[in-house]
Amino acid sequence: MTVLALETSCDETAVAILRGSNGDSAAELLASEVASQIAAHEKYGGIVPEIASRNHLVHAPRLLKRATLEAKIDMTQIDAFAATSGPGLASSLMIGASIAKGLAIGFSKPYLAINHLEGHLLSPFFGEGEVRRNVSLVVSGGHTMSIFVRGLADYQLIGRTVDDAAGEAFDKVAKMLGLGYPGGPEIEKHACGGDPARFDLPRSMLDSDNSSFSGLKTAVRYLLPKLHGDFLADLCASFQQAIVDVLVRKTIAAAQKYDVDLVTMSGGVSCNRELRRQLAEASVRAGFDFKSAEAWLCTDNAAMIAFAALLRLQAGFESKVTEEIDPNLKVA
């Protein structure tokens, strides 16, 4: 079974082609193309939905062509077409979903509407045939949530941020510090060699299932005017460590509460090497297996959407082509 998926939920246009093998149920990625629009939005200091959707329209046909060439197949050999149907920007979601629906209708093949968050939360299992029971931390620019995963399509929300997502806090603090966008990789780079204990920044709502990162962001804002001399590396390291502490503590507590054997992590912020290292160590210390999405799968891509679609297709799921996109789609 070969699936073609589009991801256009925000400012990344992505197309992937994934083939599921019958025998050992592992999947083979035939093509994965991502076109970033960071440069187009940078001068506005944020994502402009109108510009994002126009760019998706420009990039998608080109990426579709490149992906089929790379995969050495033509559209008639695709068994199902999938697209992210939410959550995200309505005008962006619409482009990918419309293209996938059009292809599904044109080639008389099934259509699968995929939740972007399901794409992230299944990505630690990428290429595997089975989704193990686990507690999953999905941590990106738009979302910070822990989810109890019983298996494919069986998810329960444990907790989420009540204000900023962790990635959003990285991006906003990076902006305050005059660093580039996206802020996460910039802060990680500058934190290297810095002292994570120099600045005492708040860790909020530590004993709740939910989390909050806006107080941390505000603490940095109030601290900044008081700082002089060489502080950037120490501040980046202290800020990063505050986020890592909160995420690690909550994820381990959730894994204990839901009595799982496995902790997983995905989403853009899970690229962060300190977070990967410290959550892996804490998981092992607490007696859990740990599995993070591979770094190339952490930020937005279509391979994770194709993978969720393949697993759903193999399990007998299919969507109606009349299914609408939903900018506020929930995963649990």
Report the nearest approach of Zn ion to the CB of residue 296 (Å): 14
Q: Which is nearer to ligand KG4, 247 or 313 (CB)?
A: 247
Does 268 bind ligand KG4 (CB under 6 A)? Our answer is yes
Residue indicated by tokens 């290429």: 127
* Beta pairing, strands 144-151 & 154-160: antiparallel
Q: Which is nearer to ligand KG4, 18 or 297 (CB)?
A: 297
One-letter amino acid for residue 269 of the chain:
V
Q: Which residues of 166-192 are buried (b: 16+ CB within 10 A; e: fewer)?
A: bbbbbbbbbeebebebbbbbbbbebbe
Does 140 bind ligand KG4 (CB under 6 A)? Our answer is yes
Spatial contact of 201 and 239, defined as CB atoms under 8 Å apart: yes
Spatial contact of 137 and 166, defined as CB atoms under 8 Å apart: no
Question: Interaction with ligand KG4 in 272-331: which residues (CB under 6 A)?
Answer: 272, 299-300
Spatial contact of 194 and 241, defined as CB atoms under 8 Å apart: no
171 binding partner (options Zn ion, ligand KG4, none; Cβ < 5 to 8 Å by kind):
ligand KG4
Task: Classify residue 27 as left (phi > 0), alpha (psi -120 to 50) or beta.
Answer: beta
Question: Interaction with ligand KG4 in 142-161: which residues (CB under 6 A)?
Answer: 142
Q: Which is nearer to ligand KG4, 245 or 318 (CB)?
A: 245
**Which alpha helices (DSSP H) does 258-290 contain, by range?**
273-285
118 binding partner (options Zn ion, ligand KG4, none; Cβ < 5 to 8 Å by kind):
none
Spatial contact of 149 and 133, defined as CB atoms under 8 Å apart: yes
Q: Give the residue, chosen from 155, 170, 213, 307, that forms a contact with ligand KG4 under the rule CB under 6 A.
A: 170
119 binding partner (options ligand KG4, Zn ion, none; Cβ < 5 to 8 Å by kind):
none
- Angle between the 273-285 and 183-191 helix axes, to the nearest 10 degrees? 80
Q: Which is nearer to ligand KG4, 20 or 124 (CB)?
A: 124
Does 241 bind ligand KG4 (CB under 6 A)? Our answer is no
3-state secondary structure of 317: coil
Report the nearest approach of Zn ion to the CB of residue 267 (Å): 6
Does 123 bind ligand KG4 (CB under 6 A)? Our answer is no
Please name which of 64, 66, 98 lies closest in space to residue 83, comparing C-alpha atoms: 98
Spatial contact of 72 and 111, defined as CB atoms under 8 Å apart: no
Q: Which is nearer to Zn ion, 118 or 300 (CB)?
A: 300
Does 11 bind ligand KG4 (CB under 6 A)? Our answer is no
Segment interacting with ligand KG4 (CB under 6 A) among 77-85, 176-184, 282-290, 319-327: 176-184
* Residue 226: DSSP 8-state: G
Report the nearest approach of ligand KG4 to the CB of residue 121 (Å): 11
Q: Which is nearer to Zn ion, 20 or 268 (CB)?
A: 268
Q: Give the residue, chosen from 33, 164, 188, 234, that forms a contact with ligand KG4 under the rule CB under 6 A.
A: 188
Residues 6+ apart with CB under 8 A from 135: 146, 147, 148, 149, 158, 251, 254, 255, 258, 260, 262, 263, 264
Does 7 bind ligand KG4 (CB under 6 A)? Our answer is no
Report the nearest approach of Zn ion to the CB of residue 86 (Å): 12
The rounded distance, in Å, linking the Cα atoms of 205 and 214 is 11
Does 20 bind ligand KG4 (CB under 6 A)? Our answer is no
The residue ranges that bind ligand KG4 (CB under 6 A) are 140-142, 167, 170-171, 182-185, 188, 267-269, 271-272, 299-300
